Amino acid sequence: MGGCSSTGRTRRRFNNLFRLDERLGVGHFSTVYACTEISTGKRFAVKVMKRSLVNAVALRDEVAVLRRVGDHPNVVALHDVFDDTDGFRIVMDYCSGGDLFSRIIAEGESSEKRTSEIIFQLASALQHIHACGITHRDLKPENILLTSKDVNANIKVGDFGLSTIIQDKSGLMKTVCGTWAYCAPEVIRRVEYTLAVDIWTLGLLMFILLSGYHPFDLFGDLNEAELITKIQSCDYNFDDPIWDDVSAAAKDIISNLLQVAPEKRMSLEKLLETDWILGRGVPQAPRTKLIDRLQQFKNFRVTVLASVATAKFMKPVRAKRTQSQLDNSQIEDALSQMTSSTIPEQKDHFPVDK
């Protein structure tokens, strides 16, 4: 990994090593492109962030998380980081299959067996992430990607922008972040929480994959206050006809994941041992009616966005200050740590979650 020019070393440039290809997506603080490594022809994805918008500490945090997570078949891996004149670039795995939900809709069918296979991969990814001392905190359909367009393509969990390295021995965190529709009740209540928030979201995703609608917003028309109230009270059911051909085992797992009390939620270890997650006796019949529901869900939008995400990634506005010198020096410090070949594992290296 390269360093900052102030060290006297030649600054490595993204454009000297990679060719920028088509745009893949646009977020609040970054744009993601496909890119090709010039020396090998291998394809990657690159997250491009404008220097004027980037919070250096948040950027360092995201790279630190990606480094710690390392290589896992169901997690998007970090390959390189660049501090270029016009911004920052994080090079990651390229998932050419797009997002999971769009893929299922395009194929026109799904089955409970396939959902079982998907949840197995997601649970395996979370188990690895948690074992690395990371809480994802922003699992949602857009962050579940496919490695290719092949039928048996692997799933990869991406976007660690809101993830955090657990600092306290108790595993407690306090930051309110994520997207309301996928937040666990304890996050909404603004109380201390643990990595069990990811288990709650896994239950939500399993519910959606089997029904095509959000468990707390059947028609996708609730306002923010109504949605939050239903999440906090865990007010959902399996009464809709779409559940008629879903196994009791699947419903039981969802019920054990969507528990208001974090300590009552099924552990990932226990989930990965269930017959359902291992595909034993799981119905394989196509569920064509589910596709229309998933298409409707794809249009589902929640008006509440992650306010803490904005605070985390945006630079604070400083009235009429020559912020460029201050911000650039902070960014130099952050990038000098980020682009080193290794990042220390000491607890005090990382900002404590607040």
Long-range contacts, 12-20 (Cβ 8 Å, 24+) = 12/82, 13/82, 13/84, 14/46, 14/82, 14/84, 14/89, 14/91, 15/84, 17/80, 18/44, 18/46, 18/91, 20/46
Question: Looking up tokens 């030649």, which residue turns up?
Answer: 10
Task: Give the C-alpha separation, 290 to 109, whole Å.
Answer: 8
From its phi and psi, is residue 305 left (phi > 0), alpha (psi between -120 and 50) or beta? beta
Q: Let me know: does 252 contact 266? Beta carbons within 8 Å.
A: no
Task: Give the C-alpha separation, 2 to 273, whole Å.
Answer: 43
Indicate the residue type of 159: D
Task: Give the C-alpha separation, 248 to 263, whole Å.
Answer: 23
Q: 270 labelled as ligand-binding? A: no
Residue 238: exposed, middle, or buried by beta-carbon count in 10 A (0-12, 13-18, 19+)?
middle
Q: Let me know: does 156 contact 94? Beta carbons within 8 Å.
A: no
Task: Give the C-alpha separation, 277 to 122, whole Å.
Answer: 11
Task: Give the C-alpha separation, 115 to 129, whole Å.
Answer: 21
Q: Let me know: does 297 contact 214? Beta carbons within 8 Å.
A: yes
**Active-site annotation, residues:** 138
Task: Give the C-alpha separation, 260 to 326, whole Å.
Answer: 44
Query: Which residues carry a binding-site annotation?
Result: 47
User: Which residues fall in the annotated binding site for ATP?
Assistant: 47
